[in-house]
Amino acid sequence: MHLRRVFLYGTLRDHALLAAVLGRPAGPGDLAEAALPDHAAHRVVPGAYPVIRPEPGAVAPGLLLSGLTAEEVGRLSYYEGAFGYGTEPIEVVSGGTSVRALVFWPDGRHLHTDGHWDLARWQDEDRGLAAEAAREVMSEMGHRPAETVGARYAQIEARAQSRLAARAEAPPAEIRAGLGAEAVTLESRRRPYAGFFNVEEYELDLPAFGGGRLRPNTRSVFVAADAVTVLPYDPRRDTVLVLEQFRPGPYGRGDPCPWTLEPVAGRRDPGESVAETARRETREEAGIEIGALHHIGSYYPSPGCITEFLVSYVAEAALPDSAEGVHGLATEGENIRTRIVAFDRLMQAVRTGEAGTGPLLLSAYWLSLNRDRLRRAGGA
DSSP 101-118: EEEEEE-S----EEEE--
DSSP state of 147: H
Please name the residues in contact with 89: beta carbons below 8 A apart, sequence gap of 6 or more: 3, 100, 101, 102, 103
CA distances 228 to 164, 267, 286, 315, 343, Å, are 16, 6, 14, 12, 22
Burial class (CB in 10 A: 0-12, 13-18, 19+), 332: exposed
Burial class (CB in 10 A: 0-12, 13-18, 19+), 90: middle
For the cut 50, the answer to whether the pLDDT of residue 1 exceeds it is no
Residue 281 CA to residue 87 CA, distance in Å, equals 40
Closest CA to 339 of 286, 284, 283, 282: 286
What percent of the chain is modeled with pLDDT above 90? 85
Read off the pLDDT band of 171 (50, 70, 90): confident
Cβ atoms of residues 339 and 325 within 8 Å: no
Residue 192 CA to residue 200 CA, distance in Å, equals 7
Mean pLDDT for the stretch of residues 60-68: 95
Torsion angle of C-alpha atoms 335, 339, 343, 348, degrees rounded to 10: -70
Residue 353 Rama label (left phi>0; alpha psi -120 to 50; beta):
left
* Between 108 and 18, residue with greater pLDDT: 18
Q: In DSSP terms, which residues pair with 310 in a beta bridge?
A: 227, 299
Q: In DSSP terms, which residues pair with 44 in a beta bridge?
A: 113
Amino acid at 234: D
Residue 32 CA to residue 55 CA, distance in Å, equals 23
Mean pLDDT for the stretch of residues 144-168: 95
* Between 217 and 360, residue with greater pLDDT: 360
* Between 105 and 372, residue with greater pLDDT: 372
Closest CA to 182 of 207, 164, 161: 207
Cβ atoms of residues 72 and 20 within 8 Å: no
Amino acid at 8: L
Please name the residues in contact with 14: beta carbons below 8 A apart, sequence gap of 6 or more: 119, 122, 123, 126, 130, 131
Please name the residues in contact with 106: beta carbons below 8 A apart, sequence gap of 6 or more: 51, 83, 84, 85
DSSP state of 159: H
Read off the pLDDT band of 292 (50, 70, 90): very high
Cβ atoms of residues 186 and 202 within 8 Å: yes
User: Could you report the per-residue pLDDT of 197-211, keeping only the tens digit for each?
Assistant: 999 999 999 999 999
Task: Give the sign of the dihedral formed by CA 272, CA 273, CA 277, CA 280.
Answer: negative
Helix, strand, or coil here: 191? strand
Output the average pLDDT for the chain: 94
Closest CA to 276 of 319, 239, 230: 230
User: Could you report the per-residue pLDDT of 317-356, keeping only the tens digit for each?
Assistant: 999 999 999 988 887 778 999 999 999 999 999 999 999 9
Q: Pairing mode, if any, of strands 213-223 and 227-234?
A: unpaired
Q: Which domains does the chain have, with CATH numbers?
A: 6-151 (3.10.490.10), 156-169+183-223 (no CATH), 227-377 (3.90.79.10)
Mean pLDDT for the stretch of residues 294-309: 96
Residue 145 Rama label (left phi>0; alpha psi -120 to 50; beta):
beta
The pLDDT, as a whole number, for residue 33 is 96
